[in-house]
Amino acid sequence: MQRWWVVAGLRAAVSSVKKIFPLPKHVAIIMDGNGRWAEKRGLPRLIGHRAGTDNVRRVVECFDAYQVKYLTLYAFSTENWRRPGEEVDGLLRILAEMIDRETRELHRRGAKLRHLGRIDGLPPLLQDKVQEALEMTKNNPGMVLNIAFDYGGRAEILEAVRRIIQDGIPSEEITESVFSSYLYTADVPEPDLVIRTGGEIRLSNFLIWQTAYSEFYSTSTLWPDFGEKEIEEALVAYSQRERRFGGLKAEGEAREG
């Protein structure tokens, strides 16, 4: 109940905030810093990953209150399989627990879950859990929550190229829009804002086609500590950017929202 009042208060403030600055329609987040969060506390890295997973609901609620329609979370990259087996196994267990714990709540809130990345590399039971969550929420009208798990930007582009070749599309018909329709994000608008927690300033193979004109924001806050205050700071910073998409801003023209 206490959490409900916090979200209700945030929602009440959104209408006034939106009059002050434009909000992005699609926010993508590189959730970095779970391991460092745990190490700073003398805890195992998996405790940090669990704390990061526990933070997802708070972040989703906050962006939903700001009426951000699309939220994409970078949870596990194709390169993360190189981590020690114990850590990878723990991450897979945490994902399964998160699906069991959060799917019905997201469904109740009207959110639509999507998976970005490959699914065939996951354990069969986890594949089933993912598919069940996607099926349960597929017709929901609210926020679209994309979970990028076993995702890599280069792998996504290569897969798109292979599928275009398989479909026999002539080279002269391959436009940017055609190519985009073969990506995992085919029916999702490109991110307006990419946030990276943990202080690093790089994309790490995340949505490298889709973020060509995204605004980038880095915060030193580690992912488990990333909350309402940090989200507001990121949105305010976004509002101060001038998005020209390679062109020149006309005099008197309003900022892109």
Rounded to an integer, the average pLDDT of 98-112 is 94
* pLDDT of 4 above 50: no
The percent of residues in the chain predicted with pLDDT above 70, rounded, is 86
Tell me whether residue 80 is one of the annotated catalytic residues: yes
Number of structural domains the chain divides into: 1
144 within domain boundaries: yes
Confidence band for 22, pLDDT divided at 50, 70 and 90: confident
In this predicted model, what pLDDT tens digit does every residue of 227-249 receive, in sequence order? 999 999 999 999 988 776 666 56
Position 218 in a domain: yes
Secondary structure letter of residue 112 according to DSSP: E
**Which of 211, 97, 75 has the alpha carbon at shortest distance from 145?**
75
Residue with tokens 């997201």: 106
Tell me whether residue 5 is in a domain. Answer: no
**Candidate list 32, 64, 150, 192, residue with the active-site label:** 32
Q: Is the pLDDT of residue 61 over 70?
A: yes
Q: Flag whether 41 is in a domain.
A: yes
User: 101-128 in b/e burial notation, b at 16+ Cβ within 10 A?
Assistant: ebbeebbebebbbbbbbbeeebeeebee
Look at residue 6 in the predicted model and tell me its pLDDT: 44
Residue 257: the pLDDT is 43
Assign residue 80 the CATH number of its domain.
Answer: 3.40.1180.10
Which pLDDT band, with edges at 50, 70 and 90, does 12 fall under? Answer: low
* Residue 232 lies inside a defined structural domain of this protein: yes
The band of 11, judged by pLDDT with boundaries at 50, 70 and 90, is low
**% of the chain beyond a pLDDT of 90:** 83
236 touches 66 (CB < 8 A): no
- 176 occurs within a structural domain: no
Look up 140 and say whether it is catalytic: no
Is 8 inside any structural domain? no
The answer to whether residue 198 is domain-embedded is yes
CA distances from 193 to 28, 53, 234, 242 (A): 6, 21, 9, 12
Q: What is the pTM of this model?
A: 0.88
pLDDT given for residue 16 in this prediction: 52
> For residue 193, what are the β-bridge partners?
27, 215
Domain that holds residue 226: 22-151+190-239
Catalytic one among 54, 80, 140, 205? Answer: 80
Helix axes 45-65, 85-108, angle to 10 degrees: 20
Beta-carbon contacts of residue 150 (< 8 Å; ≥ 6 apart): 76, 77, 78, 81, 117, 118, 119, 121, 122
The answer on pLDDT for 252 being more than 80 is no
